[in-house]
Amino acid sequence: MNDVIPGTDAGKLAATDLAATNTDAGDAPGWQRTLSNLAAFLRRRLTGDYEIDDFGYDRDFAETLMLPPLRWLFEKWFRVQTVGIENVPLGGAALLVANHSGTIAVDAAMAAVAVHDEHPQRRPLRILGADFVFNTPVLGPLARKAGHTLACTADAERLLTAGELVAVFPEGFKGVGKPFSQRYKLQRFGRGGFVSAALRTGAPIVPVSIVGAEEIYPLIGDIKPLARALGLPYFPVTPTFPWLGPLGAIPLPSKWLIEFGEPIATDGYPEGAAEDPMVVFNLTDRVRETIQQTLYRLLLRRGHPFLG
């Protein structure tokens, strides 16, 4: 790490930085490597020897501590299959737009694992989240360390300009908190702010369709007074929660499919297209329709929600 040269931009993390940190013990058996890497990780934590970018993305922490448990959920619990990862650009900016469901935002985490693990460049996915996330103790700092940030124009454009892969879930709480009866029906797609950001930065839009998240916590009720008292957007009631207590927090093991659709170019539009509501609405509708149609197709392909 070149942190002894003054004036270098320490805020930018080169993709190769981490590879250089612990390449020792390369010929040792797997468990030995895991142990020595873990010891080195603890040492780096204790001495503060790691780098974060301007948004707080801590690659060392995210890849060592956060991705492994999510990867287990991804591979073993939800048996996620991905389609079309080649539609995610090898380098440079892109805006991934996905449907949102599942009572809590597990789908966002799974999309991040899909992009990181299946993409040949193992790119981090920078998710735009609700301010509620960054307001919450523990969750907020963890989301920052994982590279996510607030869903606002300034942050979206800054990340896209820096050539990052940015993901947005335009349905927001309307999507995650919708009742089970409305599963796989896309809600309103915000006000198209994400399309303006893509138009302004010329980043392609990749529609992402996620099937499987709807069944993990089937939402059959919402205790509104309790949600208000706790300051939550909704208080979920599922077939298992809160009846089974902490056990009810275990997601049902549905079968998941994630499809990355063909990129929609945004750089062919005339200057000022981001300020033209007609262009923005049309693009928003096009992205929304693509995802909705893909969802229906994927549902047919999946068959049984749990057996797949």
- By CB under 8 A, name the binding residues for other proteins: 1, 3-4, 6-11, 20-25, 28, 32-33, 35-37, 39-40, 42-56, 58, 131, 134-135, 137-138, 140-141, 144-145, 149-150, 152, 154-155, 158
- What is the pairing mode between strands 94-98 and 125-129? unpaired
Least separation in angstroms between CB 200 and other proteins: 15
Name which of 129 and 177 has its Cβ closer to other proteins. 129
Name which of 56 and 233 has its Cβ closer to other proteins. 56
Least separation in angstroms between CB 198 and other proteins: 17
Using DSSP, state whether 4 is helix, strand or coil: coil
Least separation in angstroms between CB 29 and other proteins: 9
Q: What gap in Å lies between CA 287 and CA 260, rounded to an integer?
A: 12
Least separation in angstroms between CB 35 and other proteins: 5
Least separation in angstroms between CB 255 and other proteins: 35
Q: How many residues does the chain have?
A: 308
Q: Any residues with CB less than 8 A from the CB of 227 and at least 6 apart, and which?
A: 233, 234, 235
Q: Any residues with CB less than 8 A from the CB of 235 and at least 6 apart, and which?
A: 222, 223, 224, 226, 227
Name which of 28 and 244 has its Cβ closer to other proteins. 28
Count Cβ atoms within 10 A of the Cβ of residue 83 and give its class: 0-12 exposed, 13-18 middle, 19 or more buried: middle
DSSP 138: T
| C-beta separation of 170 from 108 below 8 A | no
Name which of 35 and 265 has its Cβ closer to other proteins. 35
Name which of 18 and 223 has its Cβ closer to other proteins. 18
